Structure 1
Amino acid sequence: MKSANSSSMIVPAATNPGALAMAIANPGALGTIDAYIGAVNRLPVLTAEQESTLARQYRDGQDLNAARELVLSHLRLVVAIARQYLGYGLPHADLIQEGNVGLMKAVKRFDPDRGVRLVSFAIHWIKAEIHEYILKNWRLVKVATTKAQRKLFFNLRSMKREAHALTPEQVEEIATSLNVRPQDVAEMEVRLSGQDMALEGRGTDDGETDFAPIAYLSDEGRSEPSHVLEDRRRDQLHGEGLSSALETLDARSRRIIEARWLQDEGGSTLQELADEFGVSAERIRQIEARAMTKMRGALADYA
């Protein structure tokens, strides 16, 4: 989000340059937004001849003082346009700030020889900057990206006659009026009626956590990321980890471990292995215990 302090504004060379310059750079610098509005409304309005002369001075000679006077004389226009967008819940000062950026872009591109006044030309640029600011900051998730969606975003709420959902007939009427598809109207209505919601709940004063989507959106199956990593680690442990651990054993110890624990059906008993190697069952148990300890150390790198 752009801050009201972030943009570099054209400032006046008028009677009180310090205070008014701060106001142009930051609409809240005069103390209140009302003070700013009062200050810009007292700035003189240029005649058509004055405007044409200043515009040519800037266009032909890059006279920044001329550009400054053009900007100052139209700041009241920005205030009037920004007031139309207060319903989106964004600070009035920020809307004015963005509109001032659009005004400066308009002054930079204005051609006095086209036969139109700057006010008519600047309206488009002022609204474009304010629209972009609203779309970027109204919600965490952007609600309008295509041209049709942007048109609907700034017109649908005013065109809805009542608070309840649109009827199919109203959807068709609005779509025809704005030259968009009916499905675009229906989709934008859903987007505008929704609210941003945090995925995870916030802690409350009593130590509890608010109910949030994470509680019912989590995947109870094995496809949840932590489960996938866990399964992958287990498979690695059972595969290459176990093979590496077995390779650390001598032939007899490995034979005992494989016979006791790695058979598909029922491992050998201690006595069966004792008979195979010609030792006591207790000796087989000791060999098995030492082999298991050695394998745990080898598997530590995979755990």
Structure 2
Amino acid sequence: MGTVDYQGYSNQILEVARRAPYLSREEEFELATKWHDNKDAKALERLTLAHLRLVLAQAMKFRSFGLPLADMAQEGQIGLMEAAARFDPSREVRFSTYATWWIKASIQDYILRNWSIVRGGTSSVQKRLFFSVRRLHLEIARQHPEMNDTEIKSEIATKLNVKKSDVERMSSHLSAPDASLNAPISESDGTSAEKIDLLEDTGPLPDDIASDAIDMDRKRNWLADAMKSLNQRELMILKKRRLADEAMTLEALGEVMGISKERVRQIESAALKKLRSSLEEKGPGLIPVQ
């Protein structure tokens, strides 16, 4: 595996990868076919073990993001298994070529989820920006040392066919470290105030929450009392038509009750009037029952 520093990988993964034999095109095709056609578990094991080196190589390409290499390797193995599950050997494409995309995508998704506590967006455009801005910035700066930062960002936007403002936002996101809301506002004033104390709470006040809860309980009791004024048939119709998760149609309810759908509508209308009248007596200003 050369002299590459794989510090951070588990010894077990490295040892398995080192010992796994390389596969010829014919062997790879045979194993992939056995798995694809017959779900031969041993064939799948040999196929995936032989490509662990590919997983490690892909994980190393993303080591600059500062995440544990062992974790990225594990995510890459998930991508490798997904590739094996989807691979169709009849297309005459090398499995390594097909698996590389899945391994890379799996590692990139892991990085997007864990690189920062602040999510930077997971759309295809944002994902492309996240993994391209820093690389392109270094390449352009190396090739054109006369360019300033603004000119480099404009060039990146042109290459990626995105807005310059998108490049600027992503560059800011990549360069700014996460700040804890529990960090002290100032270390010199001797207070225990934290940055989170400066955030405005836009939610309702405790008094409003308590008042709303009391009002809701009162209205719920009024409605329960009003329902007692209905006879059994009216109550059944309102429950099936107004309170059920899936309301029954007038026609369907009429068939169940042995009456016409017009009669169901009349009974429902009369029951709603009773409820409306009772609720208006209990609490003026309540929203009328519709």
TM-score using structure 2 length: 0.60
Change (3 A) 1:36 1:224: closer
- Alignment of structure 1 residues 185-224 onto 2, 5 Å: 185-201=167-183, 212-215=194-197, 217-219=198-200
1:54, 1:66 within 8 Å by CA — same for their partners in 2?
Answer: yes
From 63, 66, 90, the counterpart of 1:86: 63
1:40, 1:75 within 8 Å by CA — same for their partners in 2?
Answer: yes
The percentage of counterpart residues that share the same residue type is 38
Counterpart residue number, 1:58: 35
Q: Post-superposition shift, 1:38?
A: 3.8
Counterpart residue number, 1:149: 126
From 147, 150, 161, the counterpart of 1:168: 150
Counterpart residue number, 1:117: 94
Counterpart residue number, 2:18: 41
For 2:79, give the aligned amino acid.
G
RMSD over aligned CA atoms reads 3.5
- Alignment of structure 1 residues 139-288 onto 2, 5 Å: 139-161=116-138, 167-201=149-183, 212-215=194-197, 217-219=198-200, 228-229=205-206, 232=208
Counterpart residue number, 2:280: none
Q: Distance in 1 between matches of 2:59 and 2:210?
A: 60
* Per-residue Cα deviation, 1:126-181 (whole angstroms, up to 9, x for no partner): 01110111111111121132211111111111222369x96332122111222222
1:171, 1:185 within 8 Å by CA — same for their partners in 2?
Answer: yes
Change (3 A) 1:235 1:136: closer
Q: Distance in 2 between matches of 1:60 and 1:233?
A: 61
Change (3 A) 1:62 1:168: same
* Per-residue Cα deviation, 1:96-153 (whole angstroms, up to 9, x for no partner): 0000000011011111121210010001000111011111111112113221111111
1:160, 1:166 within 8 Å by CA — same for their partners in 2?
Answer: no
Q: Post-superposition shift, 1:201?
A: 3.0
Q: Provide structure 1 residue ranges, at least 5 long, that are not aligned to the other structure.
A: 1-26, 203-207, 237-303
SS in 2 for 1:40: helix
2:16, 2:49 within 8 Å by CA — same for their partners in 1?
Answer: no
Counterpart residue number, 1:269: none
For 2:167, give the aligned amino acid.
V
Structure with bigger gyration radius: 1
* Per-residue Cα deviation, 1:169-213 (whole angstroms, up to 9, x for no partner): 2122111222222221111111112222221236xxxxx666642
Q: Distance in 2 between matches of 1:224 and 1:181?
A: 33
Q: Distance in 2 between matches of 1:110 and 1:235?
A: 60
Counterpart residue number, 1:106: 83
* Per-residue Cα deviation, 1:239-278 (whole angstroms, up to 9, x for no partner): xxxxxxxxxxxxxxxxxxxxxxxxxxxxxxxxxxxxxxxx
SS in 1 for 2:82: helix
Counterpart residue number, 2:221: none
Change (3 A) 1:233 1:176: closer
For 1:155, give the aligned amino acid.
S
- Alignment of structure 1 residues 128-143 onto 2, 5 Å: 128-143=105-120
Change (3 A) 1:167 1:107: same
For 2:166, give the aligned amino acid.
D
Q: Distance in 1 between matches of 2:103 and 2:94?
A: 15
Q: Distance in 1 between matches of 2:175 and 2:199?
A: 25
Q: Distance in 2 between matches of 1:39 and 1:209?
A: 54
TM-score using structure 1 length: 0.58
2:28, 2:47 within 8 Å by CA — same for their partners in 1?
Answer: yes
For 1:83, give the aligned amino acid.
M
1:99, 1:126 within 8 Å by CA — same for their partners in 2?
Answer: yes
Counterpart residue number, 1:97: 74
